[in-house]
Amino acid sequence: MTRICVVLGNRMNDDGSVSESTKERLEFLKSYYAAEKPDFVILSGGIANPKAGISEARAMLNELHGAIDESRIVLEDRSRTTIENAKFSAPLIASLSADEVTVISSPSHIRRIYMNPIRLFKKYLKRAGKGDAEIKSYCGRQA
């Protein structure tokens, strides 16, 4: 069984640093990775803030400072919205033959009704031929 987790980016600060929300997501990732040992981690986020000059995915990778085996990290650095997170991550997930996908975000993001990340991932995974993958969410507390 191939298990993947996807960390959703959050708009960067103008100075190129990651937001507090992104820092929280990365802390959640570290604890999830240590406990669950997924096969791959996708860091998802493009350049939503042009002033930052760096993609959210690249900035998350830099922020992790080797806390996770980099050979298991895949960067999705084109998305600028939650819809695009799902749309651009789904083919990567399908190419890795995932059976289980855990989406890491903040509680308010996972719970929202409008552009709900879990529903979007289900939709785009189905389009990518991996509609049978189990999708979970994780945000360090009950999602």
The tens digit of pLDDT for each residue in 43-102 reads 999 999 999 999 999 999 999 988 999 999 999 999 999 999 999 999 999 999 999 999
Tell me, yes or no, whether 131 lies in a domain.
yes
Give pTM, 2 decimals: 0.95
Query: Tell me, what DSSP letter sits at residue 17?
Result: P
Q: Which of 60, 132, 121, 134 is nearest to 90 (CA)?
A: 121
58 inside domain: yes
Residues present in the chain in total: 143
Give the span between the Cα atoms of 30 and 51, in whole angstroms. Answer: 28
Q: 8 is in which domain, residue-wise?
A: 3-138
Residue 36 near residue 68 (C-beta atoms within 8 A): no
Residue 48 lies in a domain: yes
Domain count, the chain: 1
Q: Is residue 42 a part of any domain in this protein? A: yes
* CATH code of the domain in which 81 resides: 3.40.50.620
Answer yes or no: is 143 within a domain: no
**Distance between CA 103 and CA 41 in Å, rounded?**
10
